[in-house]
Amino acid sequence: MAVQYYTEEGLRKLKEELAELKGKGRQDIAKQIAEARDKGDLSENAEYDAAKDAQGHLELKIAKLEAVVGNARILDNSQMDTSKAGILSTVKIKNVKNGMEVAYTLVSEEEADLKAGKISLGSPFGKGLNGKKVGEIAEINAPAGKLQFEVLEITY
């Protein structure tokens, strides 16, 4: 897994989620397994099978999150090239075709939240904007076809 960059807040949220899954999540699954086991014959116990499946999914999620947290780095804005759009930059763009303006902050996949104006660097928009400078045209491969956006402003 590659190194991914996060805000302090984003990394804190990931660590909190991991702690929640390891603590309460594991306790809840153990309780479900114990309750199902108490109901008798395990070979024909659907509740027990379901609880064991849920345990497997939980452990997989914990392992993935541990890998993400282990490869996470907090981004140091002082080391950034602020002339280009990149992770944690807010990019104000204008649709060349209709003149509509919008601003997005480029973030990691786990921190993406379109309602909050945060888009993943790995999304089509993120890929199209990454590395662009003010005045350049970004071509975005969207489901509706190729869209062109002029980069108006980049802030960190």
Domains of the chain, start order = 4-74 (1.10.287.180), 77-155 (3.10.50.30)
What are the tens digits of pLDDT across the range 41-58?
777 778 888 888 999 999
Q: What's the rounded mean pLDDT across residues 137-141? A: 91
Closest CA relative to residue 85, chosen from 24, 51, 135, 47: 135
Q: Residue 39: helix, strand or coil by DSSP? A: coil
- pTM strictly above 0.75: no
Higher pLDDT, 1 or 155: 155
Instruction: Choose among 4, 2, 1, 7: nearest CA to 90.
Output: 7
Question: Is the pLDDT reported for residue 4 higher than 90?
Answer: no
Tokens standing for residue 71: 């490869």
Using pLDDT thresholds of 50, 70 and 90, give the confidence band for residue 77. low
Which of 123-127, 130-134, 141-145 has the lowest average pLDDT? Answer: 141-145
**% the chain with pLDDT above 70:** 94
Q: Dump the DSSP string for 64-91.
A: HHHHHHHTEEE--GGGS-TTB--TT-EE
Please compute the mean of the pLDDT values over residues 103-132 and round it to a whole number: 91
pLDDT greater than 80 at residue 135:
yes
Mean pLDDT calculated for residue range 32-36: 88
Structure tokens at 135: 């005045």
Residue 18 near residue 11 (C-beta atoms within 8 A)? no
